[in-house]
């Protein structure tokens, strides 16, 4: 069975910023995002990610008019969660996929909707467990990410760095 993961913008942006996009798309998971989330990513980061789309390793989920109305309804239902974020919910339900996000409010909604959810640290675990990177490189990149993403769970980050060094 193929595992499908729908990515939030913050995950893709973080992986580009720390230079791990190449490795991210080597994880044995069908990686996707939505057309609405794609628009949240700035032009320079899109340039880095576009080859992955062109090579078929990052898919872009699109929606019909009925699905767009359902997304809008979800955005009204869940205050504090954007239309773009709700597009992740719609794609995950349609594709029976997990969602990868670092957004706490969105994560609560995803859990409420009973959809599997993971964050950036889970992706780091996958990189190490699959042998795509060494634990020491993962620890170094995690420290780098910690410097640009203050929302990471401090204790979980510290535990992984300690374990991997």
DSSP 31-63: EEEEHHHHTTS-HHHHHHHHHHHHTTSEEEE--
DSSP bridge pairs for 33: 60
Could you read off the pLDDT of 108-128 as tens digits, one per residue? 999 999 999 999 999 999 999
- Given CATH 3.40.50.300, say whether it is the number of domain 4-121: no
Could you read off the pLDDT of 37-55 as tens digits, one per residue? 999 999 999 999 999 999 9
All CATH 3.40.50.1010 domain ranges in the chain, comma separated: 4-121
Q: What is the pTM of this model?
A: 0.95
């Amino acid at each position: 069975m193929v595992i499908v993961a729908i990515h939030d913008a913050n995950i893709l942006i973080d992986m580009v910023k720390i230079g791990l996009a190449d490795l991210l798309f080597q994880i044995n998971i069908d990686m996707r995002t939505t057309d609405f989330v794609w628009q949240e990513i700035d032009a320079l980061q899109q340039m880095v990610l576009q080859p992955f789309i062109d090579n078929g390793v990052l898919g872009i989920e699109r929606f019909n008019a009925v699905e767009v109305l359902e997304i809008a309804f979800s955005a009204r239902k869940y205050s504090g969660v954007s239309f773009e974020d709700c597009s992740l919910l719609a794609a995950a339900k349609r594709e029976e996929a997990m969602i990868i996000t670092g957004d706490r409010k969105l994560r609560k909604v995803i859990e409420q909707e009973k959809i599997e959810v993971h964050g950036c640290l889970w992706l780091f675990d996958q990189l190490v467990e699959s042998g795509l990177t060494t634990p020491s490189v993962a620890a170094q990149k995690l420290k780098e990410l910690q410097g640009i993403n203050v929302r990471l769970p401090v204790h979980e980050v510290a535990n992984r760095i300690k374990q991997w060094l």
